[in-house]
Chains A and B, each alone.
Chain A
Amino acid sequence: RIMPVRWSRYNPSYLEPEVKKESHQKPLEELTEEEREQMELKAVRPIKAAPPSLSSSVFSDPMISKFTNMMMKSGNKVLARSLMSQTLEAIKRKQLEKYHKAPENEKETIECNPYVIFHQALKNCQPIIGLSNITRGGKTYQVPVPLTDNRKRFLAMKWLITECRENKHRRTLMPEKLSQELLQAFNNEGPVIKRKHVLHKMAEANRAYAHFRWW
């Protein structure tokens, strides 16, 4: 049984809020059975308040807000948010430059939407399998282990941020370096993708210990 260590001010019967407008306007016939049950449950149970970072506008993206929170230091959300917007602007500028320089037939292949680039880059950085330390008979082995979706996303974002904070020239600013890394990840190149491949190779090498996993 899982013993939760953190507690929340909400009663456990409170459900998560659903912010997107489209999910409320779907007609009844299109819903599957599970969704119908979910709707009935929502009609009876109380619902938690929406957090300040979540909004129904087109511009709010849960992935981007998670990334901004991870970049934030000492609660300075204003700075983190401005860095994020400057990064997205830098990506757009670089892509537009490439777009205008490219010949006619290649213009369609160049992606200009920074949100699409961000999502694709994150997806490319996500590892499929991870390693975990298991101690048997005094020795600690690195055992390959499947990762949950949340863990994959977290690792991808963490690697990007640590990469940008450490391996840069003293004078480059965060938005520029981040946009560079994101574009490289989008094209499946760059140090973050390399780190992911190294992890995969380690997991493949330690394949013999896979039976140590008991979960």
Chain B
Amino acid sequence: TLRLICTTTAVQKRNVGASGPEKYTEAFIKKQIEEFNLGKRHLANMMGEDPETFTQEDIDKAIAYLFPSGLFDKQARPLMKHPTEVFPEQRKIQWGEDGRPFHFLFYTGKQSYYSLMHETYEKFLNVQKHQDQLTAQDLPLQKEKRNLAGSRWLTKIELEEMLLEKVSDDDYSRFIQLLQKLVALPCADIEEKYIQKFSKEVPVQLQKVVIEPLQHDERGVAFSTGEGKRKTARATAVVYDNGTGKITVNGIDILHYFPVLQDREQLLFPFQFLGRIGKHDMVCTVSGGGRSAQAGAIRLASAKALRSFVTEKEVEFMRQAGLLTVDPRVKERKKPGQEGPRRKFTWKKR
């Protein structure tokens, strides 16, 4: 599968819910919750705060004050959290005292996954039956398209947490395919509630970046700054208005600093895209990286600086042209047992 290098450490957490039946009984967890609530009130009294409005943040601060610890690992320090966070949710024991399992699909090995698939298929058949009824009565089928752009399906890890059971990649992809088929039917609005359990909103607000207003220097010329990076190169660019299109890098003209045509093309890319080649002056400083990395860093810095001069729609166009994203590609590390990041040592038969 695609090895996700870019995701958080949440990916590497073990699925504790699927590791086995519960080690802690329900009665034990209830007792722990009662003890936690009592302890919270005692702590509030000790700190002189009101026990009713004592939040989790206050608990953390109080514990950090009463038990200061110099340990580096945050998870090794003294901790006081609600038992549901400390004791992870685990599957209850699925068979009764006589040894007979409760669920009819227990012997498949993945009972929650298969029961989920059965449920989803049942909804699918329901929707088809409804559709057939409507066509039999010659009523028009509703064609309101769900806004697919704003939502995403649950990831494999989230599904595993929901089912408390390991889900393989194949199983996950089959489930997603079934959901997509269900959504593709015209009358899928009936099962909207069921589908919403498995879809999450992707907020557009994540991409709203604050555009800085223009600053003016002593002569009254408007300018704005931007920073960019690429591989190991770091660049800062200052774009002035009412210019002739001169670009200076580290005090040297671009013709002398970048003898290669490709780098100069990259520098001019944001200006050419917006159609403002002769209208702006630019002064930039760049350090680190190589020839192409410095050019890419300055391109990003100038694109960020130009955001203040331009309407919001054009900023959106720049983003869709790939001018405003930081390029995450860096040099891959060398691995032990290999000569380079990918190249293996020469294979010798003996």
Contacts and interface: CB of A to CB of B under 8 A. Distances in A.
Interface string A80-95: 0100000000000000
A53 interface: yes
Contact of B149 (A3, A11, A44, A50): A44
B3 interface: yes
B320 interface: yes
A44 B320 contact: no
B296 A81 contact: no
Interface residues of A, number: 38
Interface stretch (A14-22, A142-150, A165-173, A191-199): A14-22
B168 to A, nearest CB: 11
B149 A56 contact: no
Main secondary structure, interface of A, reads: loop
B265 to A, nearest CB: 5
B321 A17 contact: yes
Contacts of A77: 262
A8 B329 CA distance: 8
A10 B330 CA distance: 11
Contact of A9 (B5, B147, B275): B5
A49 B202 contact: no
Q: Which 5 A-B pairs rank lowest in CB-CB distance, beginning with the nearest?
A: A17-B322, A50-B322, A49-B327, A40-B149, A49-B325
Given A21-B273, A50-B322, A56-B321, A43 B328 contact: no
Contacts of A37: 148-149
Interface string B296-319: 100010000000000000001101
A185 B273 CA distance: 35
A60 B265 contact: yes
A48 B327 CA distance: 7
B32 interface: no
Contacts of A3: 1
A41 to B, nearest CB: 5
B341 to A, nearest CB: 12
B3 to A, nearest CB: 5
Contact of B320 (A8, A10, A18, A52): A18
Contacts of A48: 322, 325
Contacts of A12: 2, 4
Nearest to A6: B2
Nearest to A15: B320
A13 interface: yes
B321 A18 contact: yes
Contacts of A1: 170, 173
Contact of A17 (B3, B296, B320): B320
A7 B3 contact: yes
Given A21-B273, A46-B325, 19 more contacts: A1-B170, A8-B2, A12-B2, A24-B320, A37-B148, A42-B320, A43-B149, A43-B204, A44-B202, A49-B300, A49-B325, A52-B262, A52-B295, A53-B262, A56-B269, A57-B268, A57-B269, A78-B260, A81-B260
Given A24-B320, A40-B149, A52 B292 contact: yes
Contact of B2 (A4, A17, A18): A4
Contact of A11 (B7, B268, B322): B7
A23 B268 CA distance: 20
25 contacts: A1-B173, A7-B5, A9-B6, A11-B4, A24-B317, A24-B320, A24-B321, A42-B320, A44-B149, A44-B150, A44-B204, A45-B202, A47-B320, A48-B325, A49-B322, A49-B323, A49-B325, A49-B328, A50-B269, A52-B266, A53-B262, A56-B272, A56-B273, A57-B265, A60-B265
Nearest to A58: B272
Contacts of B329: 9
A1 B265 CA distance: 40
Query: Looking at A10, A43, A50, A60, which has the most chain B CB atoms within 10 Å of its CB?
Result: A50
B207 interface: yes
A21 B2 CA distance: 33
A162 interface: no
B230 to A, nearest CB: 8
B262 A11 contact: no
B152 interface: yes
B327 A11 contact: no
B27 interface: no
B105 interface: no
A55 interface: yes
A50 B150 CA distance: 24
Contact of B266 (A21, A46, A47, A55): A55
Contacts of B162: none
A9 B330 CA distance: 8
A37 B7 CA distance: 27
Contacts of A56: 269, 272-273, 321
